[in-house]
Amino acid sequence: MRNAIINNRIISVSALVSILLCVIISRLPTTLFAQTSETWVHNGDFEERLRYWRSLENATTTNGRTGQGVKVDYDSGNSDIFQELSSTFLAGKTYQ
């Protein structure tokens, strides 16, 4: 096993690599990860992704000032809206 010396302490290379990866990931822009509904609205992906829904079994679409939105009828944890948009949508709320 290889070791490195940092501040007069011996640390394994694998531990050092793990620490460096954590630091790198923590500094990546959040746009690479799942977004909240508010972010989808602001960056325009929300309306774009509505076109790819397989069904609106749990939600209804609405037209609004900023484009097409969706009203979630019930919890969508395992539904198309959750899988397509990769966000958390609460039942009874309207997102647009």
The domain in which residue 92 lies consists of 34-96
C-alpha 95/C-alpha 87 separation (Å) is 11
Q: Are residues 73 and 96 in the same domain?
A: yes
State percent of the chain over pLDDT 70: 9
C-alpha 76/C-alpha 59 separation (Å) is 9
Q: Are residues 95 and 74 in the same domain?
A: yes
DSSP code of residue 55: -
Q: Are residues 22 and 40 in the same domain?
A: no
pTM above 0.75, yes or no: no
Q: Are residues 46 and 22 in the same domain?
A: no
* Chain centroid offset of residue 41 CA: 13
Task: Answer whether residue 22 shows pLDDT above 60.
Answer: yes
Per-residue confidence (pLDDT) for residue 21, from 0 to 100: 74
C-alpha 76/C-alpha 91 separation (Å) is 7
Tens-digit pLDDT profile for residues 28-68 = 554 444 444 433 333 344 545 554 444 555 566 666 565 66
Task: Answer whether residue 24 shows pLDDT above 60.
Answer: yes
Q: Are residues 23 and 42 in the same domain?
A: no
SS3 percent helix, strand, coil of the chain, rounded to 5, is: 40, 25, 40
Q: Are residues 43 and 83 in the same domain?
A: yes
